[in-house]
């Protein structure tokens, strides 16, 4: 740290502030084998705790001196749970013997490699370039220079941000385009880190050219000269594919100076995240890129006018840029006709938890969660029944099986008290303790809080303490009003969405699974037999 501070002319305290913030930096030399198990929603449902216990029992006291066993936040391998990280390698679909063998290799100084994420080759409705030359929309744009027409097409299609917020894409593009500045940027947020999410990884590995084309077009429309794909550290295989695609784009003059001989220029690079769920929040992401702690920014001003280094910046996620490319190639009318049950367009989703076929899929917007779980996810594993599901990871809370016929559509989910979000659908089978699932989700938010604001930093810990006590049989009636008050403080006083949605998992379980809450708080009974162990 001293060397870095001297090289860049920074106070040592500033370097320490950054190094101590991000999970992929170490202040002490790691042991020979650093073994980190994911225990967030999907892995938790598929035996991560038992896996850790079985692995730890394989090693004696002497060997353990060279091993660190710990828990880590979601690794983005929800389609092959349980997942873990050993040093810098990511392992999914693991069993105790396999993990033990890999750890022994590390102890012996031998290298190990990450397992390949599941890759299923499919034909995609959104891909306009099957059997055709790619980047066709970009080629047409540099000839017509109808930049305003691009924004009109996105508006006519009704494209909304597909990373979770659902903000109209045309407004965001127009804001950056209209901002007066000599230098502007485009950033693709590929840092999906919420438990259950993996659709962006799937897109980058299967359709990288659509995402990159969307970014180049966006840059030309808004007048940006540089761009970055901000991608999470764990997506090493996706990084390799993107590097190859970017290299080919430069070779074919689709990037760089004088794109396709048009006189237009745009340079695109990758920025590997140093880790942390909070980096998915755009303000925190920008702070990370500027070399600071990833703490959310106050708004206003908006990113479109004051983004990276306070320059106008268009920041959208992987799926939004991909959808924009599809719309420009196939037309706004085509896009609007793809949905069902009031939905508009196609949507990439992830299905995990207690399903037979976990993975990422392309489905029409408006598809019901019954169809998502049964037709795409292959139904509930073990022949069991569905008891509840999260429409989009912990941020969306949990809905009961009786609401599974709700269509995946913005208005329908809002009416149900949930949200489309990033469409990380997590199914819970009968026999699942939903209070335990709520605690698991809140613990994730507690672990991933950046700590900038007191309501989130302290409130999430207080909520974890309270719900943990409930699972241990320590409950008094006066705690329910306290929980509601704490939830309101988090919702209204937290700076960013992390603290604001942290209470959602437990509030949704209290609302939709009252019989389980009563069994816990009144009768000390747990349907999953996971509570009251201490």
Query: 42-92, pLDDT tens digit by residue?
Result: 999 999 999 999 999 999 999 999 999 999 999 999 999 999 999 999 999
Tokens of 187: 């950033």
288 with 273: CB under 8 angstroms?
yes
- Location of structure tokens 């040093």: 87
What integer pLDDT is reported at residue 122 of this predicted model? 78
Tell me how far apart the 2 most distant CA atoms of the chain are, in Å. Answer: 74
In terms of DSSP H, where are the helices of 167-309?
Answer: 169-178, 199-206, 208-222, 236-251, 282-289
Q: Which parts of 223-365 fold into alpha helices (H)? A: 236-251, 282-289, 318-330, 332-336
- Copy the structure tokens of residue 233: 């550290």
Predicted confidence (pLDDT) per residue in 163-221, tens digit: 877 899 999 999 999 999 999 999 999 999 999 999 999 999 999 999 999 999 999 99
The phi and psi torsions of 70 (rounded to 5 degrees) equal -155, 175
Mean pLDDT, the chain, as a whole number? 96
User: What's the CA dihedral at 9, 15, 17, 23 to 10 degrees?
Assistant: 150
In the prediction, which pLDDT does 123 show? 86
Dihedral-angle region of residue 526 (phi above 0 means left; psi in -120 to 50 means alpha; beta otherwise): beta
Phi/psi for 84 (5° steps) reads -155, 170
Report how far residue 397's alpha carbon sits from residue 506's, in angstroms, rounded to the nearest whole number.
8
Radius of gyration from C-alpha coordinates of the chain: 23
Sheet holding 267-272, edge to edge: 267-272, 226-231, 185-190, 313-317
- Dihedral, CA of residue 447, residue 201, residue 18 and residue 460, to nearest 10: -20
CA 499 vs CA 16, 250, 274, 420, 440: distances in Å: 25, 41, 21, 19, 15
> How many angstroms separate the CA atoms of 217 and 221, rounded?
6
Residues of the chain with pLDDT under 50: none
* Structure-block tokens of residue 212: 């990159």
Domains identified in the chain and CATH numbers: 31-107 (3.40.30.10), 136-335 (3.40.50.11540), 346-429 (3.10.20.600), 434-523 (1.20.1440.230)
Length of the chain measured in residues: 534
Residue 119 has what pLDDT? 76
Alpha carbons within 13 A on the beta-carbon side of 369: 31
Beta bridge partners of 266: 256
* d(C-alpha 283, C-alpha 30), whole Å: 31
pLDDT digits (tens, 9 = 90+) for 383-420: 999 999 999 999 999 999 999 999 999 999 999 999 99
Residues 6 or more apart from 180 whose CB is under 8 A from it? none
Q: What is the pLDDT of residue 315?
A: 97
Tally the C-alpha atoms within 13 A of residue 292's C-alpha that lie toward its C-beta.
Answer: 14
């Amino acid at each position: 740290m001293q060397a870095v501070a001297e090289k860049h002319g920074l106070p040592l305290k500033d370097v320490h502030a950054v190094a101590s913030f991000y999970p992929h930096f170490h202040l002490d030399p790691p042991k020979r084998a650093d073994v980190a198990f994911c225990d967030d929603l999907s892995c938790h449902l598929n035996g991560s705790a038992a896996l850790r216990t079985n692995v730890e029992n394989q090693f004696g006291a002497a060997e353990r001196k060279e091993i660190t066993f710990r828990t880590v936040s979601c690794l983005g391998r929800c389609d092959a749970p349980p997942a873990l990280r050993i040093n810098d390698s990511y392992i999914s679909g693991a069993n105790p013997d396999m993990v033990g063998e890999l750890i022994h290799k590390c102890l012996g100084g031998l290298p190990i490699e990450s397992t390949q994420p599941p890759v299923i080759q499919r034909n995609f409705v959104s891909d306009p370039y099957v059997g055709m030359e790619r980047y066709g929309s970009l080629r047409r744009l540099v000839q017509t220079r109808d930049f305003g027409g691009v924004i009109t097409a996105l508006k006519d299609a009704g494209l909304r941000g597909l990373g979770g917020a659902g903000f109209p894409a045309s407004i965001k593009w127009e804001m950056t385009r209209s901002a007066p500045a000599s230098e502007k940027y485009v950033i693709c947020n590929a840092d999906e880190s919420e438990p259950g999410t993996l659709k962006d990884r799937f897109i980058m590995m299967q359709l990288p050219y659509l995402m990159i084309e969307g970014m180049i077009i966006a840059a030309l429309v808004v007048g940006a000269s540089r761009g970055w794909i901000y991608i999470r550290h764990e997506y090493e295989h996706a990084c390799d594919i993107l590097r190859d695609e970017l290299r080919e784009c430069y070779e074919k003059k689709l990037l760089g100076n004088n794109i396709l001989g048009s006189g237009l220029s745009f340079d695109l690079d990758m920025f590997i995240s140093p880790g942390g769920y909070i980096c998915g929040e755009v303000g925190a992401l920008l702070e990370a890129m500027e070399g600071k702690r990833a703490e959310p920014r106050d708004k206003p001003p908006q990113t479109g006018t004051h983004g990276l280094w306070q320059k106008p910046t268009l920041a959208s996620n992987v799926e939004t840029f991909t959808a924009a490319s599809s719309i420009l190639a196939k037309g706004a009318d085509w896009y609007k006709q793809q949905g069902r049950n009031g939905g508009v367009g196609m949507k990439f989703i992830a299905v995990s938890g207690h399903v037979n076929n976990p993975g990422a899929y392309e489905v029409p917007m408006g598809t019901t969660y019954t169809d998502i779980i049964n037709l795409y996810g292959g139904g509930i594993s073990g022949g069991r029944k569905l008891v509840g599901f999260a429409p989009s990871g912990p941020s969306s809370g949990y809905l009961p099986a009786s609401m599974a016929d709700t269509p995946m559509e913005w208005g329908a989910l809002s009416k149900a008290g949930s949200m489309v979000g990033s469409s990380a659908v997590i199914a819970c089978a009968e026999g699942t303790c939903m209070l335990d699932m709520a605690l698991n989700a809140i613990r994730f938010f507690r672990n991933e809080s950046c700590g900038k604001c007191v309501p989130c930093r302290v409130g999430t810990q207080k909520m974890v303490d309270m719900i943990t006590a409930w699972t241990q049989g320590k409950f008094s009636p006066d705690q329910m009003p306290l929980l509601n008050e704490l939830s309101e403080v988090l919702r209204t006083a937290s700076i960013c969405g992390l603290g604001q949605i942290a209470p959602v998992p437990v509030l949704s379980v209290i609302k939709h699974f009252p019989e389980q809450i009563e069994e816990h708080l009144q009768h000390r009974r747990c349907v999953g037999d996971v509570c009251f162990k201490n």
